[in-house]
Structure 1
């Protein structure tokens, strides 16, 4: 008997609101562990496939690519649920398993219909993690988030219809962007993967979610999209350049951003760029690099969000301009945040070093020098805007007088789990490499690679110190930085208001013309009114005369 781990999570989430205290805590922790056990007892292959309307549905298909992503999603579900134990909000504790189930179910989907169902479930379930903050800003952000997810789903559905209509069937394999169906699906996936310009829903909404919600959001939606790209679009040329742009442009926004959760959101777009570029390269190295870096990113990005979430819980703010000196009050959170920062910066012995190098190796092996240089530049800049900046501004900058308690125990346990995973991957990368879809003999720890990476890190650290000491480093100021969302948050409303005012002015300007036209129409209609010449009653002899004249005219015209 086979059990779909996604359905197990959904079914297990049902009783969570009914449980209390330790019973709820034990249930929520055991649920992802049970799903993980179910996943690894499934043999590779299709389970439970069936025919419907002449089309083959495969709701449960297990292979190496699906298993590594599903494992990462279940690990993230476990960490997120442990992190959420400090909260008594049953809504969030029940939504996270459903949200995780959507990503796991999508990873295990063998057909496009099943993929679409879980794709939509991911968007509909995750919005509650934003609304759970119960503020007006969160409500509005949640509505914008929901619009983005619905548009993404509609594009995917339209693409599936065209794809099937072309005779390609429902199998979820390589789709490609050659046909209209595959192109529409790619556009829908691009929204959830935060492609350039399409990324603003992420940086707009993630910082408005709850403390727990932001951690969960960082793990599932975008990595689910990366999985779909790896499955359906590996080797697509355009993705190499899309990924390179994604890796570079968030740097400038993150350097100017004051909200540290928004800094991490931009950092997420940057890291997604490495994964997208690896998918574009394709082949064994590219797909392995995308899968490995997605796995590592789930851990270290979740760790960074958790540490800043703990700061937000204790101080009430995540603004860099209001933080500093917290290493005295929250030393354990500080140490765990440093682990996440070292991982994202690709410091040797931490996870980013083992996975980001795999991505860069794949790009270099494909002889894409320009893309490799852009990704290398983006990797070197990570310490400047995230790896050093986030822990420094939150914990080591000028003391703002916050004297708070350490993060709750369950939060620290969750952060410790993510930190342990990040260190384990960094120290023994072969454990992760063994889970990847293709066998690889790549070795991260070679002398040239370690030396080169150490040089990059030293130069980045030196640049940060010099810029900071000389006052050239961008200061953390209370401000609002506009991104591409200015198009729909500022420009479109302004254009609408301008259009309404212009229409009102035209209506007022046309009022005299309307009155004059009404007068002309009244004058023209006067003869046919009741008292007009044509409207008055005619005598019989006049009517006979007019009939005779008309008949004579008709005869004359016929003779001519």
Structure 2
């Protein structure tokens, strides 16, 4: 047993990065991930750590079944991710990944809203660098939009926290009431979970990340958001609708997509939809199902992104129209990736089946027949695009003539480890069920009705794929999404605001410019007028009589132009003028 926060394993690696170089730095990073996994495994139940801040008691560290389960899979996945990236030489990616994973671990072990928010924002910033690290025009634009979306989500969460604390006086990270503060926090969380209509950030940014960055990004942001939904919003029925829309949305756009990593990105949104539904149902079985599915989803999603990353690293190509026939050159990558494809499709004997079935059973228990129907259709759709479309068009289909080398050994070892866990949990789910927050006694994913019904659904989906194969062949197209509305709306809003306020600025500038010019002329002529008054009182200065007035004025101006008066006189005049003006205004 240990009382150490697993976050320190990743922070320690960040501190040691400058000391190590080359392969030793990669070994140190991998060792840090292994140490973090060991720490989570050794944490005693009920452990907390608190600190005082601005009159509030922060719970920096809280260990219970739910936080420990997410912490366990986060650290376990980091081991495989850093093994996959064992040959990585870009220290900036390693620093960003360590900070990103460490902050995700900190978020799931946070016991209060303020601590959660701090780690939430660190996640947003650190993950942005994994996108920017690719150093392309597309990645720069995607990274910029990514951080803007997440900062907006963070602002929603911060506003909700402030309203919630003002209303209740509590900062505890627990189940929240459906008031203004709760709705604002929920809005921030739903943005991070890639809920429609704010889902496009995921499919736009993750595929533009580096090979390593894509693998790491696929596991943490959306699952951290799922954790917060399970912790703070169980039973919010609006989440059922949101989750169903996400599940269907991911299928539609994945079927239309040509880029292999974008297909997998839409699959993340689709799978997160099942978890959001589980949070919305809010029963013990649905919470267990969502938590278990988040655990398994990280395994098979990372496996799929590793297989796609290995193809991208070997060929430099990501579009399905440019790939095909790779089964001849990369058979092991195909085999391991296909295990991930079967698992995301909830094929019996894989981890996806043992976790997704819990959510479907929870919907059936609550007599939510329309929800059950939507999720069953979504399950068939997943097999259509991730289980069949992705491996078929990348590794089979029309031979592209590419013959890259097989993925390096460290990548194959990482994919092999994840594939083994996908199959192990599929045939022996008891260790997974033992980690769940509620006792799953009595649940059996392999009851005859579930097994036969799900197999029929998958076979129907497979038949539909091959029948409609000519219609599913990819073309290099662009698909419109809901982000079109707020992008266009944002552009129109910017133009409207620019026209209004820049117009006001122009009018104000003209008015102020005219006033300043007039005031400057007035102050400039003060010495001239003073001399004119003086000479009027003393006519002998320039002659006498009205006939000499014009001559006196001309002589005064010539004297001023010849600097007859010191500069200080003008300064005094201007200062006095300003003083009078301020006196009138105030």
TM-score, structure 2 length as denominator?
Answer: 0.83
Counterpart pick for 2:476 among 465, 475, 478: 478
- What is the CA distance between 1:505 and its match in structure 2? 12
1:17 touches 1:91 (CA, 8 Å); kept in 2? Answer: no
Matched, 1:321 2:321: yes
- What is the CA distance between 1:448 and its match in structure 2? 1.5
CA deviations on 1:433-464 (whole Å, 9 max, x unpaired) are: 11111111211111121111111111011111
Matched, 1:126 2:127: yes
Provide closer, same or farther for how the CA distance between residues 159 and 466 of structure 1 changes in structure 2, counting only shifts above 3 A. same
What CA distance in whole angstroms lies between the structure 2 residues aligned with 1:6 and 1:399? Answer: 46
Provide closer, same or farther for how the CA distance between residues 443 and 144 of structure 1 changes in structure 2, counting only shifts above 3 A. same
What CA distance in whole angstroms lies between the structure 1 residues aligned with 2:303 and 2:450? Answer: 26
Task: Give the secondary-structure state (helix, strand or coil) at the position aligned to 1:149.
Answer: helix
> Which of 289-298 and 146-155 deviates more?
146-155
- What is the CA distance between 1:490 and its match in structure 2? 4.6
Identify the residue that residue 492 of structure 1 maps to in structure 2.
Answer: 490
Identify the residue that residue 397 of structure 1 maps to in structure 2.
Answer: 397
Identify the residue that residue 555 of structure 1 maps to in structure 2.
Answer: none
Provide closer, same or farther for how the CA distance between residues 89 and 503 of structure 1 changes in structure 2, counting only shifts above 3 A. closer
Alignment of 1:278-293 (within 5 A): 278-293=278-293
Task: Give the secondary-structure state (helix, strand or coil) at the position aligned to 2:219.
Answer: coil
Provide closer, same or farther for how the CA distance between residues 313 and 480 of structure 1 changes in structure 2, counting only shifts above 3 A. same
What CA distance in whole angstroms lies between the structure 2 residues aligned with 1:183 and 1:506? Answer: 36
Task: Give the secondary-structure state (helix, strand or coil) at the position aligned to 2:86.
Answer: helix
- What is the CA distance between 1:40 and its match in structure 2? 2.2
What CA distance in whole angstroms lies between the structure 2 residues aligned with 1:243 and 1:305? Answer: 23
What CA distance in whole angstroms lies between the structure 1 residues aligned with 2:363 and 2:290? Answer: 11
- What is the CA distance between 1:46 and its match in structure 2? 3.8
1:46 touches 1:110 (CA, 8 Å); kept in 2? Answer: no
Task: Give the secondary-structure state (helix, strand or coil) at the position aligned to 2:85.
Answer: helix
Identify the residue that residue 37 of structure 2 maps to in structure 1.
Answer: 36
What CA distance in whole angstroms lies between the structure 2 residues aligned with 1:245 and 1:394? Answer: 28
2:27 touches 2:86 (CA, 8 Å); kept in 1? Answer: no
Provide closer, same or farther for how the CA distance between residues 505 and 23 of structure 1 changes in structure 2, counting only shifts above 3 A. closer
Count of residues in correspondence between the two structures: 514
Provide closer, same or farther for how the CA distance between residues 322 and 491 of structure 1 changes in structure 2, counting only shifts above 3 A. farther
Task: Give the secondary-structure state (helix, strand or coil) at the position aligned to 2:52.
Answer: strand
**Aligned CA-pair RMSD:** 2.6
2:107 touches 2:119 (CA, 8 Å); kept in 1? Answer: yes
Alignment of 1:231-242 (within 5 A): 231-242=231-242
Matched, 1:228 2:224: no
- What is the CA distance between 1:51 and its match in structure 2? 3.5
* Gap runs ≥5 in structure 2: 515-532, 534-586
2:165 touches 2:171 (CA, 8 Å); kept in 1? Answer: yes
- What is the CA distance between 1:489 and its match in structure 2? 4.1
Matched, 1:440 2:421: no
- What is the CA distance between 1:498 and its match in structure 2? 8.1
What CA distance in whole angstroms lies between the structure 1 residues aligned with 2:288 and 2:323? Answer: 39
- What is the CA distance between 1:6 and its match in structure 2? 1.0
Identify the residue that residue 344 of structure 1 maps to in structure 2.
Answer: 344
Task: Give the secondary-structure state (helix, strand or coil) at the position aligned to 1:249.
Answer: helix
1:17 touches 1:90 (CA, 8 Å); kept in 2? Answer: no
* Gap runs ≥5 in structure 1: 519-536, 538-560
Task: Give the secondary-structure state (helix, strand or coil) at the position aligned to 2:468.
Answer: helix
What CA distance in whole angstroms lies between the structure 2 residues aligned with 1:97 and 1:78? Answer: 11
What CA distance in whole angstroms lies between the structure 1 residues aligned with 2:48 and 2:497? Answer: 56
Task: Give the secondary-structure state (helix, strand or coil) at the position aligned to 2:446.
Answer: coil
Identify the residue that residue 2 of structure 1 maps to in structure 2.
Answer: 3
Identify the residue that residue 531 of structure 1 maps to in structure 2.
Answer: none
